[in-house]
Amino acid sequence: MADQNRDGFTLQYQAVSDKREIILQVKDLTVEYVTDDEVAKAVNHVSFELRSGSTLGLVGETGAGKTTIAKAVLGVLPDVSARICGGEILFNGSDLLELSEMEMQKIRGNQISMIFQDPMTALNPTMKIGDQIKEAIMLHEKLSHAEGEKRAVDMLEMVGIPGERYSDYPHQFSGGMKQRVVIAIALACKPQLLIADEPTTALDVTIQAQVLDMMMKLKMELGTSVIMITHDLGIIAETCDYVAVIYSGEVVECGTSEDIFDYASHPYTVGLFASLPSRSGKGERLKPIKGMMPDPADLPEGCPFAERCPCPEKQCFSTKPEYLHLSDTHIVKCCKRWERQ
């Protein structure tokens, strides 16, 4: 079943049975952060696809490049330091990297929008929350101010905040409520693609479930496709159809949720699952993955995970691994010739 793919990134891994059209296709995306004395390779030849109406999880530890990928798709990388060195981001067939800033402004918040990690800082502290939602609507739709206001009230109520709170300011809301406002802003123009960058990380556990449930309900209602960025495998299991495991700016394993959860093959993915606390092993120590992710400014020659791999081979330190197809939907980037057990 294993079939090695030699050219690395032209991947046709998704289920043949999934007939939904591809809405977003990221091909060979490479992003660097340039500072005075070093170049950090944050995203290295990342490719993935997202089908309309589905949810793709990007999972990986902090600093793996997940947020950079998301910001690159939306075109909101900091223009001073970040540099997109190559690749294509095809959204509905057109390359977003080729579009002008003006054209991108029409897409942002309208067809693609994003929910940010920290609701505490994602809202403008001196602007009424209703106006912040209204702003997103007015930018993309020709409405009178009264209509825009009404739509903003509707959005507030849709995310479970009473419309009377339109004129309140962010500091009058709790973290969970703020995240609802952020979600309302993101969904205000019914986007085709929603990028959720760790939408629940900054919230406490009781609120996390509420916010996730709400997001998923709205996603179903609006038919939005979602990229869910998280380091929480539980959230992935609950919400995602497809999963891409990101390590050191690369997709190291990718497949349907079943592929990843039942047949995890890359030693990093295996390590991620092993490091979760288990319900049965009471009192056992957690099994962390030893070591640190390589410095993006100084990437190793071979496999970026070789240093931390429990079973590395000689070639792992010298040659970059290539993608290996384990099934129609499941690929892994590892030198070993894995078989799905």
Partner 1 sequence: MAKYILKRVLWLIVIVLAVSVVIFSLMFIIDGDPARSILSVNASQEDIDALRDKLGLNDPYWVQLVRFLKQTFLEFDIGTSYRTRKPVLTEIFERIGYTLTIASVSTFVATVLGIYLGVVAATNQYSWKDNTAIFLSLFCVSMPEFWFALMLVSIFALQLGWLPPLGIDSWKSYILPCISCLVGGTANIARQTRSSMLGEIRQDYITTAKAKGQTKEKIITRHALKNSLIPVITVIGSLFGTQLGGSVVVEQIFSIPGVGSYMMTAIGFRDYPAVRGGVLVIAICFSAVILLIDIVYVLVDPRFSERYNNQ
Q: Which residues bind partner 1 (CB under 8 A)?
A: 71, 74, 76, 80, 104-110, 113-114, 116, 118, 121-127, 132, 135-136, 139-140, 169, 171, 182, 185-186
- Which residue, 125 or 288, has its beta carbon nearer to partner 1? 125
Nearer to partner 1, 76 or 209 (CB): 76
Q: Which is nearer to partner 1, 1 or 102 (CB)?
A: 102
Helix 175-187 / helix 205-222 crossing angle, nearest 10 deg: 10
In the complex, least distance from residue 261 CB atom to partner 1, rounded to whole angstroms: 31
Select 136 or 272, whichever has its Cβ closest to partner 1: 136
Least gap, CB of 229 to partner 1 (angstroms) = 14
Residue closer to partner 1 (CB basis): 105 or 210: 105
Crossing angle of helices 175-187 and 129-140, rounded to 10°: 10
Nearest approach in angstroms of CB 56 to partner 1 is 19
- Please give the Cα distance from 288 to 276 (Å, whole number): 8
Task: Assess contact for 335 and 327: CB atoms under 8 A.
Answer: no
Match 């998704």 to its residue by tokens: 14
Nearest to 147 by CA among 138, 136, 159: 138
Using the Cα atoms of residue 80, residue 83, residue 89 and residue 94 in order, give the sign of their dihedral: positive
> 3-class DSSP state for residue 28?
strand
C-alpha to C-alpha distance for 266 and 306, rounded to whole angstroms: 11
Which residue type sits at 36?
Answer: D
Q: Least distance to partner 1 from the beta carbon of 319, Å?
A: 38
Q: How far apart are the first and last CA of the chain?
A: 11
Taking the least distance from each CB to partner 1, the nearer of 62 and 124 is 124
Amino acid sitting at position 37: D
Residue 172 CB, shortest distance to partner 1, in Å, is: 8
d(CA 194, CA 224): 7
Min CB(133)–partner 1 separation in Å: 9
- The distance of closest approach from Cβ of residue 101 to partner 1 in the complex, given in angstroms and rounded to an integer, is 8
Residues 6+ positions from 226 with CB-CB distance below 8 Å: 54, 55, 56, 193, 194, 195, 196, 215, 219, 239
CA 24/CA 2 separation, integer angstroms: 27
Residue closer to partner 1, measured from CB, 80 or 205: 80
Shortest separation between residue 122's beta carbon and partner 1, angstroms: 5
Instruction: Write down the residue that tokens 């403008």 correspond to.
Output: 124
State which residue, 184 or 306, has the beta carbon closest to partner 1: 184
